[in-house]
Amino acid sequence: MAGFARSIALLLAVLACGCSSMPLSTLGRGASFNESTFAYVDARALRVKVSLPEGFVLDAAASRLVAVAHSSEGTKRTELALDPLGTGPGKRGGGMWSSEVAVTSFEMDLTEDSVKALRELQREVATGKVKDVQLEVKVRLGAAPPGATSARLWVDLLMSPIEGYFPLIDGGTVAVERAKT
């Protein structure tokens, strides 16, 4: 597990907006999760929450949590499907120069097949053969208000009910993809 502990990062890919990365140890507000405990996260307790301004709708069926494991044997990429748990209204910080934003939050957990796939990855990580693991959250919009070209977005991850959600993307921007006619 020492190789794994050297370089875990969470990567967030949001549609075509690119990626950002941040070491797991710097995320959240004092969360006790770090690279050495990833292998022991309860896959059934893992949750992803995406918050979008009112009027935007998440396509949960097309959104994914992607786990990428790097080892001496190569790279393994596992797409983990998400099941919607529910939606709810809320408010998110608008930033330094703007007021709070009314949002709809979409909470999701892993499908049964995804729970199994994540547990398999965790077994590999626990062997110490995996050098590093990255998690990507891919978000797909299902609907957007007419004329919208982008949306603010907040993505939070829950790795333990005890620790609560911690932010992965705090007010990022996602492009609205329109169907070509």
Handedness of CA 158, 163, 167, 168 (dihedral sign): negative
* Entry pTM: 0.76
CA distance 99 to 102: 10
Each residue's pLDDT tens digit, 115-131 = 999 999 888 888 878 87
Q: What is the pLDDT of residue 28?
A: 38
Nearest residue to 32 (alpha-carbon basis) of 166, 170, 167, 169: 166
> Which residues, in sequence order, are bridge partners of residue 11?
21
Each residue's pLDDT tens digit, 123-157 = 888 887 887 888 888 899 999 999 999 999 999 99
